[in-house]
Structure 1
Amino acid sequence: MTITEPQTGRRGSGPSPFRPGQLFIGGAWTESSDGARRDVINPATAEVISSVAWATEGDVDAAVAAARAAFDNGIWSGLSGRERSRILHRVSQLIRERADELAFAESTDVGKPITFAHVVDVNTAADQYEYVASLAQHLDGSTRETPLPAFAYTRREPLGVVAAISPFNFPLILSSTKIAPALAAGNTIVHKPASDTPLSALIMAQILADAGVPDGVFNLITGSGSALGDRLVAHPGVNKVAFTGSTEVGRHVAALAGETLKPVTAELGGNAANILFADADLDQAIGTIIGAFVFNAGQFCMAGPRLLVERPIYDTVVGILSQAVAGVPIGSPTDPATVIGPLASLDQLHKIEAIVSEARKRGGDVVVGGERLDLDGGYYYKPTVIAGLPNDDSAVQEEIFGPVLTVQPFDTEEEAIRLANSTAFGLAAGLQTGSIARAHRVAAQLEAGIVWVNAWALLDPAIPFGGVKDSGWGREYGPESLHSYTRTKSVVISTGEAHA
């Protein structure tokens, strides 16, 4: 067995519960064309838990060809919306039936607490398929009144082959946000999951097949993000790219897709501000603030890693956080009481360590945390709060993607809005206030795709989300998501004399 790009994991002491993963192309499980494989690491223990086929560019071509053939022959796009809806409802049911298996895979692969994997990841994925299944039956055009001697109407038609490229932090959810609406609209798929976290994608490929998705409609390739991603994005047989990842890679994806003029939906980096006004319910706000930056160990594009606090309560809030954050349960993902698990990879751990270390050197006051936790050889980092950094500090301006919170004071509402909007990102934002008038006033001025008031990360498949500025473009969730996987065709039928 050839191992490419080997991981730095330790071999486990017993048999793994995960079977070696293969590619899923044209309805069949297969090895990569050159037989290469790569280890999958449990970030909680640094042990090897499985291996996956490491696809070649030729495998990408085969997957795109299978998806193209399935689209062109109409075995999926030719079905009525009601028929597709029945199959997608069945996908949702199978996700719920295999919830334990999916949650265990997501928890073990990513390092997220098993409780959250069940309640958040699995339930959300099932809800996503259920929601778009209902929309699939109503994806239709409209008649248009014109002064022309003609009957005019529009049709919504699927785009064709969609490349769905998903990241490491929420593999199940962030693949479903792409695959579910694309399928509901009648497209075919080639899915490329993150190389570090492929396990739930393997299970989902089988669930889609078991639910009745025809052969070739969904295809899965696992392998190098750079090599396979570039091949997939630039492929002339691909009609749309749906990507979630960093802003840097998003720019590259957009540029590459632009060469073949294919549309891109890009949900990119985030660095959301959470504004705490003095009139907020402080007890409720503190819980919201902590949850916003520790959820999924901070590896959440819509996390709230920047806290802006109205000056009269600034010292009080920093003091409360120094005590409360230290008490947040951090430990093994298998413990139901765990709130913070390990970071998803050793690279992520090293990145967070470097960010906090450099912030200290620049005068940042680490009021709690600021160090790794030695546990089972895993990639754990204690939740950290840093005060005293200026707004132009890189730890404030750049996406951290770990359990780190920076805290800054403000004096006026206008200053809070200016600080919140001062980074290049615009994915999410939040404010904690007791004033409904202020909530509406401030939310309208925040440069973000979604704004939460007196809460954080309240999400539902019916509520669209996505970024502005360097956080990307396009929307996932809601009817907006389904529409982005279609094109509008106009049909004009003369009702009078023939026209040229």
Structure 2
Amino acid sequence: MSINGEWVGEELDLLKVSNPANGQIVGSVPNGGEKEANLAVEAAHRAFQTWSKTTAYERANHLKRLHQLMLENQEELAQIMTLEMGKPINESRGEVNYAASFIEWFAEEGKRIYGETIPSHTSGKRLQVWKKPIGVVAAITPWNFPAAMLTRKIGPALAAGCTVIMKPSGESPLTAVKLMELCEEAGFPKGVVNLITGSSSKIAKAIMDDARVRKITFTGSTEVGKILIRQSANQVKRLSLELGGHAPMIVLDDANVDVAVKGVMASKFRNAGQTCICANRIYVQASIYDTFVAKFAEAVEELKVGNGVDESVDIGPLINQAGLDKVNHHVQDAITKGATILTGGKSITSDGGVFFAPTVIKDVDQSMVVMQEETFGPVAPVQKIASEEEAVKLANDTPYGLAAYVFTENVARGTRVIEQLNFGIVGWNDGAPSAAQVPFGGMKESGIGREGGHEGIDAFVESQYVSIGLE
């Protein structure tokens, strides 16, 4: 762990990190807890007193240097990521670029935190709004995007003048360790960026109980997000929450089927389906249903499963046995209730790894658990629908509202459908909508706030209204 510019934790027990592709131990991190969290908060609080007073241009220079270092170390970061959580190496390289793009974007966006001068109601006053960094920020991130989820949080926080405490997942903390090394090399002063690893419950409790931490930014399950909301109430901590999803993909009868198949392949099978915005429920209009599922299954059969270090692999392992058990349960439930497996449908035993074959299921319906719960695996259920009205009704029938996808060549129809969808992100004829310059976040139980884009930095500043009397 790195606290106040010092690497610490040698005396602590270790948390071992294993490669889900083969079960081999690839590294370890200290099992920190309340004591280490308190030390990190103290360091970040102390550093905030000076970091918050630096200019946006000074902060941008550090961030630009970090961006450069991430690109220079792309291959090492990608290899670490693949070893610790199984992502195919080409996807890992892509994630490093994506993660670095947030650092570059917010390096510039920090220069555009504008205040206001408001016309006064009287000649004897001047009315202004100042923008101030919110304070110490704790960034708690999941295992599935160990680089991008961190940079999407620390980039705007640092650019705004906040100091940060990074808490990565215990399943994939090694990428964060390397990012911390690069932050040091980029010249961030001591205490501005801190890294703690270990017990999530103990660390989170210490952070939530400490009034000096003014902001929590979290990506993870809706269940944990609700716990953080309740815990934040005692001190009215500011929260940004990117939570669970259950993304629908609607393919209407005027869609280009080849474009739709390409879109669902890009969305569904990235990171073996272990993404919060991947297509989980595919609704296809009846007249093109058979054509779509045939072409889709044919494309899925071409995907290669294996250890992510192999350059030719498309689908890596699931993160752990619990993830595999959940996918198996979803598939078996669908079969029991009358669905048909077109390809895949089974786990794969390979060198101690945790793999599931890329799967397409047709003839599913709303009674099946796969259409009600987020699978987080390489399983694509396809349901036949009669109309766009039915598609909208089924798509919105969920407590989640993170991402949705619509495929239609008709502009009026696409606009009409999307206006009725209650999701924070919509890909229209696009299976990969994410980018640093756009707002990322959900409606309903999928979260609070937005990350990325100009909205992404707003969450890390406070507005201070100042009324200046001149008489």
Category of TM-score, reference length = shorter chain: over 0.9
1:447-481 Cα deviation digits (max 9, x unpaired): 11111111112221111110101111100001111
**2:4 paired residue number:** 26
Q: How does 1:230-245 map to 2 (within 5 A)?
A: 230-245=205-220
In structure 2, which of residues 375, 387, 402 is the aligned counterpart of residue 400 of structure 1?
A: 375
Tell me, in whole angstroms, the C-alpha distance in 2 between the residues paired with 1:268 and 1:50: 28
Tell me, in whole angstroms, the C-alpha distance in 2 between the residues paired with 1:230 and 1:357: 38
- 8 Å contact kept, 1:271–1:399: yes
**1:39 paired residue number:** 16
Q: After superposing the two structures, state which structure 1 stretch, 89-98 or 391-400, moved more.
A: 391-400
Residue 146 of structure 1 pairs with residue 120 of structure 2: yes
Give the CA RMSD over aligned residues. 1.3
1:390-440 Cα deviation digits (max 9, x unpaired): 224321011111111111111111111111111111101111111122122
- Residue type of the alignment partner of 1:479: H
The two structures have a TM-score, normalised by structure 2, of 0.97
- Residue type of the alignment partner of 1:68: H
Tell me, in whole angstroms, the C-alpha distance in 2 between the residues paired with 1:361 and 1:305: 19
Tell me, in whole angstroms, the C-alpha distance in 2 between the residues paired with 1:235 and 1:306: 41
In structure 1, which of residues 312, 331, 336 is the aligned counterpart of residue 287 of structure 2?
A: 312
**1:275 paired residue number:** 250
- 8 Å contact kept, 2:320–2:354: yes
**1:301 paired residue number:** 276
1:97-136 Cα deviation digits (max 9, x unpaired): 1111111111111111111111x21101111111100111
In structure 1, which of residues 159, 162, 171 is the aligned counterpart of residue 146 of structure 2?
A: 171
**1:9 paired residue number:** none
Percentage of matched positions with identical amino acids: 38
Q: How does 1:123-272 map to 2 (within 5 A)?
A: 123-148=97-122, 149-272=124-247
Matched positions, count: 470
- Residue type of the alignment partner of 2:226: R
- Give runs of ≥4 in structure 1 deviating > 4 Å: none
2:400 alignment partner, SS class: coil
**1:69 paired residue number:** 46
- 8 Å contact kept, 2:333–2:369: no
- Residue type of the alignment partner of 1:434: E
Tell me, in whole angstroms, the C-alpha distance in 1 between the residues paired with 2:332 and 2:210: 42
Unmatched tracts of structure 1, length 5 or more: 1-22
- 8 Å contact kept, 1:464–1:475: yes
In structure 2, which of residues 301, 307, 311 is the aligned counterpart of residue 336 of structure 1?
A: 311
Q: After superposing the two structures, state which structure 1 stretch, 406-415 or 229-238, moved more.
A: 229-238
Residue 53 of structure 1 pairs with residue 27 of structure 2: no
Tell me, in whole angstroms, the C-alpha distance in 2 between the residues paired with 1:388 and 1:232: 47
Q: Larger relative CO (CA 8 A, sep 6+): 1 or 2?
A: 2
2:129 alignment partner, SS class: strand
Displacement, 1:227?
2.5
**1:17 paired residue number:** none
